[in-house]
Structure 1
Amino acid sequence: MIMPDHKGKPAMEEGFLPIPPEHLLPNTRAGFEIYLKQGQRFVLYAKSNDQLTGEHRRRLAEMDAREVYINVSKESVYSDYIQDNMSQLLNDDEIPVDVRAETWSWSAGKLAEDVYETALPPSVLRKRVDRIKKLIEASSRFFNSPESLKELSKYISAGGDIYQHGIGTMVYALCLMQTYDADDAVLTAVCVGAMLHDIGKLQLPEELLSKDPATMTEQEFSAYSAHPNIGVRVSAVIPLMPEAIHCVLFHHERVDGNGYPSGATGEEIPLYARVVAVCNAYDGLTRSRPWRRAYTPFEALKHVRNDTGAFDQDVFMRLVKVLSDSGLT
């Protein structure tokens, strides 16, 4: 499947953008024209706002059309169409899981990158976080399948940007919270907190973020360890549910009390923050950093396990099971 990436660098051909035909969802209207490529020509297949049906998908399958095309100027309209219809797309079992996983990852990347822009006006930040909430609400059923996490892992593990780490932490947190049978409102709040847990780092110097925390001076680490408190201040303008705020504030706490910023211990740390702490550590270890290579899933889990006193052991074992059930260990 060929899709534009979330950096805004679409795979273009003569001003046209290829998209999967599976994205033409029945009983929807797309605000963009759809084209087929015949030789070197692009031929109109459906007009903007035409009613799309299952017959469109069947006809394209019979034609063995691997891509359809839209004008590149309509990319933002196409992105909105996918986001607005994400629940239908994810729950359509006729669409291969790998297509749904890549679509989700692409859409999540665009939304997360937008949220992590610096110096956003509060009203804009609130609207962008609301779109993240809608994405999470649309995703719950899809994430119940171990096969979905296996496919998603091919996309969410790439990149070292803060927002990419936020996506990965959110995905693992969503899967873990489902094992606790969290209700929908709490699940959404925790996932938003997981996505935004490092948003305070946007106000730290870049040279500090590229340094191994274990090698920082006392002054550097003091500045670095302020990012959860900074994140809470940034998030206050949204506003977030308490569960989300706790995930931002407590994601570096340790059950033995040696974490920061408050040194909370054991059950003083809310369960959902303990979930995000484990997911944050695991996802971070599986990404390359300026000071080390990315760990394999097995190596990352071993590292988390061996960090005695850091993490809730029940939460950790649930992560092991989720990853094992998905064939990722």
Structure 2
Amino acid sequence: MADGEDKRFEHWFRGQEKWKKTGQVRFLTAMERSNHSVTEFILLGFTTNQGMQLGLFVVFLSVYSLTVVGNITLMVLICNDSRLHTPMYFFIGNLSFLDLWYSSIYTPKILVTCISEDKSISFAGCLCQFFFSAGLAYSECYLLAAMAYDRYVAISKPLLYAQAMSIKLCASLVAVSYLGGFINSSVITKKTFSFNFCRENIIDDFFCDLLPLVKLACGEKGGYMVLMYFLLSFNVISPALLILASYLFIIATVLRISSSQGRLKAFSTCSSHLTSVTLYYGSILYIYTFPRGSSYSLDTDKIVSTFYTVVFPLLNPMIYSLRNKDVKEALNKLLP
């Protein structure tokens, strides 16, 4: 690691001598670097200020609690109310399940690091977090594409909708979303953790993400970067293009509707999904495709990463329920 980076991290740990003394936070020695003996990583997180850490703990705990309650409630409503036993709500229920799982990969570890002096994560723990993070992120991209196809069929072929979007097809689309996501996650995880991490074991982030890990890795990275961008194109860009194509067909269909009220009703059925797609893809594409110039800041990446890993799973239940009459009626029916 360059001298400038060493000084930056040493400055970060200034005033944290008690961590170093207990061995909970330490820099790798030159011998450890040459022996590639990284057995754990240190997650720098957001701040070293204890007051701010306590405040962040309260914020993240509140967000996670609402995320769990919101997504579980939506899944229960969809399972219990027969009016919600449609392809659209089947996909929404699976999206809630995915978001609940997705949030649980990150937030518990963030909460621990906010109140604990131990900022470390084991090599195996980092690998598992990376694997499930990539797998669920890719799966969500596929699932959002499947939901766009569902909206296309509902608007373009309303009379054949029930027949075209059969239970078997919907279940197959969800299964393929998870299968494709985790197969590709296995590939990138195996390749990433086959590197020797012979520089530092310090990750300037709050979770084991791809870009910070690549920065710590040693060896030739040319082939790896090609693979990384291929998987990015295959798992993120390709579903985004399918979503775009679906909405182009939807727009063409809606414009042929003579009634303005009919056009508004057709577009309203897509508004929640469009909001989810815009928020999720916007943050993902910013992190992994935005050019890094001289003004690039890791803090900006942390804020954007926090949005799609922690905040977005909370927003989805709200997006799909607050303006949805069927969900509101199902909730009123469930509540005493």
Q: TM-score normalized by structure 1? A: 0.27
Higher relative helix content: 2
Q: Which has the higher contact order (CA 8 A, sep 6+)?
A: 2
User: Which has the larger Rg?
Assistant: 2
Q: TM-score normalized by structure 2? A: 0.26
